[in-house]
Amino acid sequence: MVVDFADLWAQISHDYPPGVIEFYATILSQLVGFWLVCSIYLAIDLTFPEFSNCHKLQSERRQPSWAAIRECIWRVLIGTISSEAIHFGLLYLQSFRFSFFDTSARLPSLGEVAGHFVIAVVTREVLFYTSHRALHHPKIYERIHKKHHRFTAPMAFAAQYAHPVEHLLANTIPIVLPMMLMHSHVLTFVLFLTSQLIQTSSVHSGYDFAAARMHDLHHEKFGMNYGALGIMDWILGTDVEGWDKSTNGKGKRKA
C-alpha cells in the first residue's frame, strides 16, 4: 500500500518531540550523504582499480596507502560518534522539547525550499571560505588544519578527517547555521545537509567525474581554492596558483 508522505510526516510530527526529529534527521543525512557516498567511492577503488587509476586526478603513486585510508575511516567514525553524542546530549538537556528547525506537520513549499537553499548555499560559501582561509594562517595551520592536509591526494572519507576545532568552524557551522537562523523546516534542512555532505564527499573523492578538480588542486597545491564553490575564490582572486605573489597582498590580481 502506498503511504501518502504528507500523512506520514504529520504522524511523525505528532508522535515525536522536535529534538528527537532533529537528531534522527541529522543521523539520516550523515548516513546517506556521507557514509553511503564515501563507501561507494571506496568500493570503486577496490572493485575497479584500473578504472579508478584512469579517472583519478592525481597519479597512482600519490594516492594514500590502505593503512592511511583505514586510519582515516576510523578517526572519522570516532568523530561522527562524538559529534552526534554531543548533539544528543544538548537535546537531552532540554528534554528534546526544542529544535532550531521547524518540525511542524506542514510540508515546506517548493518555493520555500528553493529560497532557503539559495540563501544557505551563498552563506555557506562565505563562511566556509572565511574559516578555511583563516585555518591556513601560519599560526593556526600547524596546530589545526595540517591534519586535514595529510591527504595531498584526497579521498572521500578525508572530507571529515579534521581537527575537532576545524570540524566545528569549517564543516559544521557554515552548513548548519544558515538553516538554523532561518528556522527552516527540518525536511528542508535534511535535503540541504545531505546535498552538502554529498558535495564535500565528492570533491574529496579525487575523481575527475565528481567536479573535484578545484578542491583537489587545493590539496595538491595548498595555497589556492579555499571555497566550496569557487565563487569567493573568483571574487578575491585566490583561484590561481601563486595568487599571493601577484596580488600586492590585497587578494586581487594586478592589472
Condensed to tens digits (0 to 9), the pLDDT of residues 201-224 reads 999 999 987 678 888 889 888 888
- Residue 234 CB contacts under 8 Å (≥ 6 apart), including other chains: none
* DSSP assignment letter at 144: T
How far, in Å, CA of 14 to CA of 105, rounded? 7
Residue type, 129: Y
- Residue 9 CB contacts under 8 Å (≥ 6 apart), including other chains: 105, 107, 187
Percent of the chain residues past pLDDT 70, beyond the cut: 93
Query: CB-based burial of residue 202 (10 Å sphere; 0-12 exposed, 13-18 middle, 19+ buried)?
Result: buried
Q: Is the pLDDT of residue 109 over 50?
A: yes
**Average pLDDT value over all residues in the chain:** 91
Burial 135-168 (b: 16+ CB within 10 A, else e): beeeeeeeebbeebbebebbbbbbbbbbbeebbe
Q: Is the pLDDT of residue 184 over 50?
A: yes
How far, in Å, CA of 71 to CA of 80, rounded? 14
Residues 55-71: what's their mean pLDDT? 90
Q: Are 37 and 197 in contact (CB under 8 A)?
A: yes
Percent of the chain residues past pLDDT 90, beyond the cut: 74
Residue 251 — pLDDT band, cuts 50, 70, 90? Answer: very low
How far, in Å, CA of 148 to CA of 190, rounded? 26
**Nine-digit cell string for 199:** 558535495
For residue 185, list its beta bridge partners.
102
Q: Is the pLDDT of residue 252 over 50?
A: no
- Model confidence, pTM: 0.90
What are the tens digits of pLDDT across the range 123-165? 999 999 999 999 999 999 999 999 999 988 889 999 999 999 9
- Residue 118 CB contacts under 8 Å (≥ 6 apart), including other chains: none
Segment among 1-10, 102-111, 143-152, 229-238 with least mean pLDDT: 1-10
Residues 50-55: what's their mean pLDDT? 89
pLDDT score recorded for residue 245 = 63
pLDDT score recorded for residue 3 = 63
Segment among 55-59, 113-117, 173-177 with least mean pLDDT: 55-59
Q: Is the pLDDT of residue 255 over 70?
A: no
pLDDT score recorded for residue 247 = 46
How far, in Å, CA of 79 to CA of 95, rounded? 24
